[in-house]
Amino acid sequence: MDVIGDVAVIIAAKDEADRIGATVGAARELPGVDLAIVVDDGSTDRTAAVAEAAGARVVRHSRNRGKGAAMETGAESLRLLEAHEEREHPRHLLFLDADLGGTAKEAAPLVEPVRSGEADMTIANFPATRLKLGGHGVVVRFSRDGIRRLTGWTAAQPLNGQRCLTRAAFQAALPLAPGFGVETALTVDLLRAGMRVTEVEVPLEHRATGTDLRSQLHRARQLVDVGRALADRELRPAVVRRARRARSVLLGPPRRR
């Protein structure tokens, strides 16, 4: 199968000048990748300059808008670029975290099920030997339990940001949930839409979140964002039922055709 130029890597980054260059360099070497887009989400360091020097196309947010917004910006930038290129087939989207460094070269297995049509979205499953958890997995369990409750599917690593999607799958999930709720919401929304989601073990590795106050605050923000994403999706069926009841009261039952 011809895989030349069928994948674009999109990396949301904030203050990752120390690792973004290695991440971009490794990602650009992946089979089928001919474009890397880095969305600098309000960095105060040299993230944008380092990413550009490594060969990425860089888009900048003047202020931090969160991961979900950065992912949308990256995908929209790609859409505009492809419209200019007049491509017949849009590229698949491979989202990678900015702090993977050289291990980003191992992300190829995430693409294959999407490229072959076996999956609409793949999620990375880091081997236990490479999984670095500075906390106690509270947010992971919270996300996993919420996804299972809403869809019946159990994710091993529901917060993993390394994902490959078809463009149709990405469009089906818009608008993305804000902040750190984006991964949980993506999984729920695509499964509910009847799309195929699978986890793929890949030997990737990123920086572990520590145990200091700043790290604990980060986890607290994660927990809040995931909770909001799940709550929004818990309410959606009820909202639909209420809307249907309201329509029935105002207009009567829908006519059969």
What's the rounded Cα separation, in Å, for the pair 136 and 42?
29
User: First vs last Cα of the chain: how many Å apart?
Assistant: 45
Long-range contacts of 46-49 (CB under 8 A, 24+ apart): 46/17, 47/13, 47/14, 47/15, 47/16, 47/17, 47/20, 47/98, 49/17
Contact by Cβ (8 Å): 70, 84: no
Question: Residue 123 forms beta bridges with which residues?
Answer: 163, 199
Both tokens assigned to 30 = 């992946």
Q: How far is CA 59 from the centre of its chain?
A: 17
pLDDT band at 242 (very low <50, low <70, confident <90, very high): very low
CATH of 7-251, one of 3.40.50.300, 3.30.450.40, 3.40.50.720, 3.90.550.10: 3.90.550.10
> Torsions phi, psi of 132, nearest 5?
-115, 110
Classified as helix, coil or strand, 111 is helix
How many other CB atoms are there within 10 angstroms of residue 127's CB atom?
11
Q: What is the pLDDT of residue 131?
A: 53
Task: Annotate 131-179 with three-state secondary structure.
Answer: CCCCCCCHHHHHHHHHHHHHHCCCCCCCCCCCEEECHHHHHHCCCCCCH
pLDDT band at 246 (very low <50, low <70, confident <90, very high): very low
pLDDT band at 86 (very low <50, low <70, confident <90, very high): confident
pLDDT tens, residue by residue, 6-63: 999 999 999 999 999 999 999 999 999 999 999 999 999 999 999 999 999 999 999 9
pTM across the whole model: 0.86
Q: Where are the domains of the chain?
A: 7-251
The CA angle 241-242-247, to the nearest 5 degrees, is 100
**Mean predicted confidence (pLDDT) in 97-125:** 97
pLDDT tens, residue by residue, 183-193: 999 999 999 99
